[in-house]
Amino acid sequence: MKEAPALVLKKSMAEFERGKSVTPGGVMGIRRPYNFVENEYPIYFTEGKGCRISDVDGNEYIDYLCAYGPIILGYREEEVDQAVIAQIQNKGFCFSLTQPVQNTLAEKLRQHIPSAEMSIFVKTGSDATTLATRIARGCTGRTKILRCGYHGWHDWCVEVKGGVPKKLYEDVYEFHYNDIGGLEALLKEHGTDTACIIITPYGHPLAEKLEEPRDDFLQKVRALADSYGVVLIFDEIRTGFRLSMGGAQSYYGVTPDLATFGKAMANGYEIGAVVGKQQFMRIVEKEVFVSSTFFPNSLSIVAALKTIEILERDKVLDTIWAKGNQFLKDIEKAILHTGVAAEVSGVGPMPFITFVKDVEKTYKAKRNDFYTQLIRRGVFLQPYHHGYVCHRHSEADLIFTVGMIKESLQYVAEKSY
């Protein structure tokens, strides 16, 4: 298979040099170039519409990263944006007191999410997971947290510990997805002082295959939490309004005590939420404090309501599941056809292509080559993070993408490592 020509990225690289002079690292965190393939991926986008994005050099891509998950409908979704514009022009959005639209969204979440008897709105997923653990500690009077998955950048859970004193995370213990024995061992050791178990109900470890729960894993986690009097928190920042309207808890039929939502709920507008049963949530009335100047701002709330309205009206998730399931099947066929030691994992709305690890570690070079060829062919996927299928991915987009995946795999198959 012929190597695709390299992208022209001169403006992106020049902008990156400019950025490094005014922002640490030029761009922040997971958006830094080493999280992709350096010198092959763009660093700055200028615009997006539907499922397509354009970089500062004018290259266009079909996007499957979807802003790391918030874009469930598509970029610049007109109905959502118009609802926000109307709120700005007709009512405003930042006040000393709360606008009633907050209650409307809380009622809407209660309709869909099994655990959402009450809701608290924040701005980010890290806000939500941190508040959920604070509620759990406040309710139980206990200290320790048992965690599974990525829960944000705050002190108690951040993966990179620079600048964080050990005492701020020394009561947090990690267990692995689908390892019920590991969780049980932690509870036997720390159960009497464990405030909560916080878990991503669908397994999405960084750079690893995605995992669905096996052998009634979530049901067993629920039973252990009950047995030890521990608050069970589902971190549904990625799965909420994507696996189902009620999140993974609805999809898998296991109801936590508290849950966190965000990302897809507002199609790109900044919002997070802690939802939960009244017996836990009411502690925030007096005993547990949360406040922010901007949490009650209504623009993202209005965007969330309009996004949910569209998801309901157009049965968007049914469509995404159908398209995504076929997409997964077609990718699997492409992998089998080329014979490359790669795997596709995930469910319809959340696919991921990884490479089988080998002793010689050639999988790293194969991964880089595959994703290099793919981005050069106009498909934006991330080597270390799973992708998403959004509403505006057409069947033609998906068919084209499968073709480019097949070509990129064939390039890897024909190259010596």
State the pLDDT confidence band at 3, using cuts at 50, 70 and 90: very high
Range 148-156 average pLDDT:
97
- pLDDT tens-digit profile of 357-378? 999 999 999 999 999 999 999 9
Question: How large a percentage of the chain has pLDDT more than 70?
Answer: 100
Average pLDDT over the chain, rounded to whole?
97
Q: Are 206 and 245 in contact (CB under 8 A)?
A: no
User: What pLDDT score does 206 carry?
Assistant: 87
State the pLDDT confidence band at 5, using cuts at 50, 70 and 90: very high
Range 94-115 average pLDDT:
98
Parts of the chain belonging to CATH 3.90.1150.10: 10-75+316-414
Range 249-271 average pLDDT:
98
Parts of the chain belonging to CATH 3.40.640.10: 78-312
Phi, psi of 121 (to 5 degrees): -100, 135
DSSP, residue by residue, 322-391: HHHHHHHHHHHHHHHHHT-SEEEEEETTEEEEEE---TT-HHHHHHHHHHHHHHHTTEE--SSS-----T
Distance, in Å, from the CA atom of 48 to the CA atom of 65, rounded to the nearest integer, reads: 12
CATH architecture of the domain with residue range 10-75+316-414: Alpha-Beta Complex (3.90)
Phi, psi of 95 (to 5 degrees): -135, 170
Distance, in Å, from the CA atom of 264 to the CA atom of 84, rounded to the nearest integer, reads: 16
State the pLDDT confidence band at 251, using cuts at 50, 70 and 90: very high
CATH architecture of the domain with residue range 78-312: 3-Layer(aba) Sandwich (3.40)
Q: How far is CA 272 from the centre of its chain?
A: 12
Inform me whether the pLDDT recorded for 191 exceeds 90: yes
User: What pLDDT score does 185 carry?
Assistant: 98
- pLDDT tens-digit profile of 368-417? 999 999 999 999 999 999 999 999 999 999 999 999 999 999 999 999 99
Inform me whether the pLDDT recorded for 1 exceeds 90: no
Task: Name every residue whose Cβ is closer than 8 Å to that of residue 60 and which is 6 or more positions away in sequence.
Answer: 52, 53, 54, 378
Q: How far is CA 67 from the centre of its chain?
A: 9
